[in-house]
Amino acid sequence: MKRYFKYLCLIVVAVMMVTMVTSCVKSEDKKGDEVVKTEKPTEATKEEVKDPFAEHMNISWIGGKAHEEEIMKNYKFVQNLLEEKFNVSFSFSPCNFYESPDDFELLVAAGSVPDCGWVCLNMDAPVMYNRGVTRGIPVEKTKELCPNYWKYMENHPMMKAWQSRTEDEYYGFFETHQVGGSGGFCTALRLDWMENVGLKPKGNVQRLLPDGYQDSNYTEDKDIDANKRIYVTDAQYSWDEFLEVLHAFTKSDPNQTGMDDTYGLSTTILGFMHGYYSFHIMPVDGMNFRFVREADGSAAVQTYSKVYKEFLEMHKELDDMGYMIPEYWEASYEDVWKYFGSGKAGAVGMCTTYANASTCVPYNVLYENPDAKVLLIPPTEGRRALDAHFMGGSDIGFFFVNKRVDDAKFERILRMFDWMSGTDEGYYLTNYGIEGKHFEKDEFGNCKMLYPYGDSGKITDEEREAYDGKLPPPEERVWEGQFNSWSIRRFANRDLSRRVNMLFEYEAKNWPPLEGYYVFYGPGSQEKLSNAAYSDPENSEAKTEAYLEYVRSLLSGTEDPDTAYEKMMSVLNGMGYQEYLKVINENMVIVEELQKGKWVYPADIIKK
Q: Supply the pLDDT for residue 467.
A: 58
DSSP 158-177: HHHHHHEEETTEESSB---E
Q: In this predicted structure, what is the pLDDT of residue 64?
A: 63
pLDDT at 82 > cutoff 80? yes
* Residues in Cβ contact with 277 at an 8 Å cutoff, skipping those fewer than 6 apart: 185, 267, 268, 336, 348, 349, 350, 351
Would you say 591 and 517 are in contact if contact means Cβ atoms under 8 Å apart? yes
pLDDT band at residue 3 under the 50/70/90 scheme? very low
The helix or strand, by DSSP H or E, that contains position 399, with its residue range, turns out to be strand 398-401
Asked whether the predicted pLDDT for residue 36 surpasses 80, the reply is: no
pLDDT exceeds 70 at position 593: yes
231, pLDDT greater than 70: yes
Which residues have CB under 8 Å from 312's CB, separation 6+?
Answer: 269, 275, 551, 554, 555, 561
Q: Which of 12-16, 156-160, 342-346, 386-390 has the lowest mean pLDDT?
A: 12-16
Q: Which string of DSSP letters, residue by residue, matches 19-74?
A: HHHHHHHHHHHHHHHHHHHHHTT-GGGSPPPPPTT-S-EEEEEE--SS--TTTTTT
Lowest mean pLDDT among 204-218, 321-335, 384-398: 384-398
Mean pLDDT check: name the lowest of 293-307, 369-383, 414-428, 522-536.
Answer: 369-383
User: What is the pTM (predicted TM-score) of this model?
Assistant: 0.79
Which of 77-91, 129-143, 553-567 is predicted with the least confidence, judged by mean pLDDT? 77-91
pLDDT, average across residues 318-323: 98
As a whole number, mean pLDDT of residues 313-335 equals 95
Residues 432, 522: Cα–Cα separation, whole Å: 33
Q: Please determine, for residue 98, whether its predicted confidence score (pLDDT) is greater than 70.
A: no
- Please say whether the beta carbons of 439 and 453 come within 8 A: yes
The H or E element that residue 178 is part of is strand 177-178
- With a pLDDT cut of 70, the percent of the chain lying above it is 74
Rounded to 10 degrees, what is the CA torsion of 350, 353, 355, 358? -110
Given a cut of 60, is residue 179 above it in pLDDT?
no
Greater model confidence, 540 or 440: 540
pLDDT-derived band at 437, boundaries 50, 70, 90: confident
**CA–CA separation, 409 vs 39, rounded Å?**
36
Q: Which of 123-137, 183-197, 411-425, 433-447 has the lowest mean pLDDT?
A: 433-447
**pLDDT at res. 486:** 34
pLDDT at 9: 46
pLDDT band at 142 (very low <50, low <70, confident <90, very high): very high
480 or 442: which leads in pLDDT: 442
Contact partners, residue 530, CB within 8 Å, separation at least 6: 124, 126, 127
Confidence of residue 416 (pLDDT cuts 50, 70, 90): very high
- pLDDT at site 540: 94
Among the residue ranges 2-11, 55-64, 442-451, 534-543, the one predicted with the least confidence is 2-11
Question: Mean pLDDT: which of 174-183, 511-520, 549-558 is highest?
Answer: 549-558
- pLDDT mean over 210-220: 77
Q: What is the pLDDT of residue 463?
A: 61
Q: What is the DSSP string of 74-125?
A: T-HHHHHHHHHHHTEEEEEE---TTT-HHHHHHHHHHT---SEEEE-TTS-H
Query: Mean pLDDT across the stretch 316-335?
Result: 95
Q: How far apart are CA 296 and CA 284, in angstroms?
A: 15
Confidence of residue 507 (pLDDT cuts 50, 70, 90): confident
Regarding predicted confidence, which is higher, 448 or 316? 316
Of residues 159 and 566, which shows the higher confidence score? 566
Which has the higher per-residue pLDDT, 32 or 133?
A: 133
Averaged pLDDT for residues 216-224: 79
Q: What is the mean pLDDT of residues 123-143?
A: 93
Closest CA to 427 of 491, 473, 488, 480: 488
Instruction: Return the SS3 of 190.
Output: strand
Closest to 412 measured CA to CA, from 152, 21, 194, 87: 87
160-178 pLDDT per residue, tens:
888 899 989 999 998 765 5
Least confident of 34-48, 186-200, 329-343, 467-481: 34-48
Q: How confident is the model over 484-502, as pLDDT tens digits?
A: 333 334 445 566 777 777 8
Task: For residues 557 and 553, give the distance between their C-alpha atoms in angstroms, rounded to a whole number.
Answer: 6
Asked whether the predicted pLDDT for residue 226 surpasses 90, the reply is: no
pLDDT at 533: 93
User: Which domains are present in the chain?
Assistant: 57-178+393-476 (3.40.190.10), 185-377 (3.40.190.10), 519-605 (no CATH)
pLDDT in the model for residue 390:
60
Average pLDDT, the chain: 80
Q: What is the mean pLDDT of residues 204-215?
A: 86
Q: What is the mean pLDDT of residues 143-167?
A: 90
| 3-class state of residue 358 by DSSP | coil
Q: Are 264 and 250 in contact (CB under 8 A)?
A: yes
Q: Is pLDDT larger for residue 273 or for residue 6?
A: 273
| 536 vs 124, more confident | 536
Q: What is the pLDDT of residue 394?
A: 43
The larger pLDDT score, comparing residue 591 to residue 486, is at 591
